[in-house]
Amino acid sequence: TFRKKDISRSTSIKYKFVGAAVSQGRVVFPPFDARFIGLYDVATDQFDLLQVSNQVSGPGKFAGAAAWDGKVVFAPHNWDAVGVYDVAGNTFATHDIKPLLAHDAKFYGAASYDGHVVFAPERADFVGTWDVEM
């Protein structure tokens, strides 16, 4: 059965999020044009936002997410860093990749396996990987 959870009071930006991953009962939405991470608790049906505009800005920041061991890793799209949301700590950090790849539309999608997150290339000429334990 399809249901709706209205988030219109939380945000009205057009291109909010691209992708989602679940960790510890929380669905995490990486910001695309939004200035925040979307957080949905399935058990309580509660939707919250974590402001990240002091760390990332601009359009098309991330496109895709994958979870591993309490962290949700965001695939860099136009932003020149990997984003990492720590579910238990409710914190967000970025890890610079600009020296490796500094153009837009880098990756679009992510999957996790055995402590690594793999990014699906959009304009990148390679598959990107990230060690979650970093």
Q: Where are the domains of the chain?
A: 21-131
Give the H/E segment covering residue 94: strand 91-96
What average pLDDT is seen over the chain?
96
What is the rounded average pLDDT of the residues 114-128? 96
What is the rounded average pLDDT of the residues 62-75? 98
For the entire predicted model, the pTM comes to 0.95
- 59 has a pLDDT exceeding 70: yes
Euclidean distance between CA atoms 51 and 7, whole angstroms = 15
Query: Which fold is adopted by the domain 21-131?
Result: Neuraminidase (2.120.10)
Amino acid code (one letter) for 96: D
| Residue at token pair 């505009």 | 53
Find out whether 91 and 97 touch, Cβ atoms under 8 Å.
no
- 2 has a pLDDT exceeding 70: yes
